[in-house]
Amino acid sequence: MTTDDSERYSIDLDDGRSLKIVPETNREELNEKQLVDYVGYRRRWIKWLREQGKHPQKREGYSDYTVYETAYKSARFDRWVWADEDRYTIPPTGEHASEYIDDDVVYRDVSNSTKGKIEEALTRYMRWVAQTSHVAEWEHDQLFSSGGGDAPRDYLTRRERRLVREQALAEDDGWKIASIVCVSLDAGLRPVEVGRARTEWVDIVNRVLRIPREDSSKNADNWRVSITSRTATALENWLEEREDIDKYADTDALWLTRESTTYNSRALARLLRRLFDEADIEAGGRDVTWLAIRHSTGTYMTQERDLAATQAQLRHQSAQTTLKYDQVPPEQRRDALDKM
């Protein structure tokens, strides 16, 4: 690519900066045909970021500052994938993204807030990839906060957990929504786990979910997850109600949408936003996704018990993942010191 080409393959941003569609370090890894292919790919990605990435339904894009930072962070990730695979390949997969965080980003000599910003950029990128390709959605619990600490940024307060549960119980269309919400509040279900949930997971008598190895989203272990008696009651009523619904006749899926499909992160985010609206809960700038429920479960389980209990309840393979919930408020630490 010539100097003229470099000028042509750049975008002038409103803040006066010029964004190279393909950074020099990426160009050096590609032959001419691969470069042409990658330029088109990057154009589509950056266009989406600028025009609709923030709120696709509203056609609202990100600020040029966020576009600039996200574009370069995603290009570095692409370059890492090529090195890992020893070949040019697009788009990346969720497995690539998880390995990149675990094997590269975690060990960088940068602040935790910088690592959090990398995770957020990767989340945007993988969301676009899932919407525009065959690649499945990336299910990821953010390890670092872009605000500087390690605690999850977006989670429900205790009051909001109560209001969401109460609103779900107020629904007048049976026990399905109530059971999804109650189970997720207890078990911190990831969106993919809500979609994969099966009737045989449910053990009402012992008040546990038994998640088989093949159904765990990390696909690495069998889990026995505690649920409350209130949640067990909701599940018992839902299972009884479910038997009389025709669309469940030939499936063991615990929950299906109105369209008879399994739930995914987008459907669950819409559900949670609706519950927020109906319960008059202010989002306050938070990213209202189903993982906000999971993060709240981890946060309060750690405060009430310990990291070991949180690791078991949230089904974390790595203790490092659970450490982000070790953010006990100062007043609670003072109480502990007074009692020592």
pLDDT in tens, 165-175: 999 999 888 99
A 10 A CB-CB count for 238 gives 23
Q: Where are the beta strands (DSSP E) in the chain?
A: 10-12, 18-20, 202-203, 208-211, 223-226
Is the pTM here over 0.75, yes or no?
Answer: no
For residue 4, the model assigns a pLDDT of: 45
Residue 172 and residue 321 in one domain: yes
For residue 313, the model assigns a pLDDT of: 61
Residue 109 and residue 234 in one domain: no
pLDDT in tens, 101-122: 988 998 888 887 888 899 999 9
Cα–Cα nearest to 97, from 71, 129, 67: 129
- The alpha carbon of 181 is separated from its chain's Cα centroid by a whole number of angstroms, namely 17
Can you give the CATH number for the domain in which 186 is found? Answer: 1.10.443.10
Residue 261 and residue 206 in one domain: yes
For residue 151, the model assigns a pLDDT of: 46
Query: Is residue 217 scored above 80 in pLDDT?
Result: no
Percent of the chain having pLDDT more than 70? 78
For residue 12, the model assigns a pLDDT of: 79
291: containing domain:
158-328
Residue 29 and residue 172 in one domain: no
> Is 143 domain-assigned?
no
Are 140 and 123 within 8 A, CB to CB? Answer: yes
Residue 95: C-alpha distances to residues 88, 98, 189 (Å): 16, 5, 20
Provide CB contacts within 8 A for 84, sequence distance 6+.
96, 99
What value does the mean pLDDT take over residues 38-52? Answer: 94
What value does the mean pLDDT take over residues 186-190? Answer: 84
Q: Which residue has the higher pLDDT, 196 or 15?
A: 196
d(C-alpha 58, C-alpha 47), whole Å: 15
Query: Is residue 84 scored above 80 in pLDDT?
Result: yes
Neighbour-count burial of 242, counting CB atoms closer than 10 A to its CB (0-12 exposed, 13-18 middle, 19+ buried): buried
Are 201 and 254 within 8 A, CB to CB? Answer: yes
Rounded to the nearest integer, the mean pLDDT of the chain is 82
> Is 230 domain-assigned?
yes
d(C-alpha 105, C-alpha 100), whole Å: 6
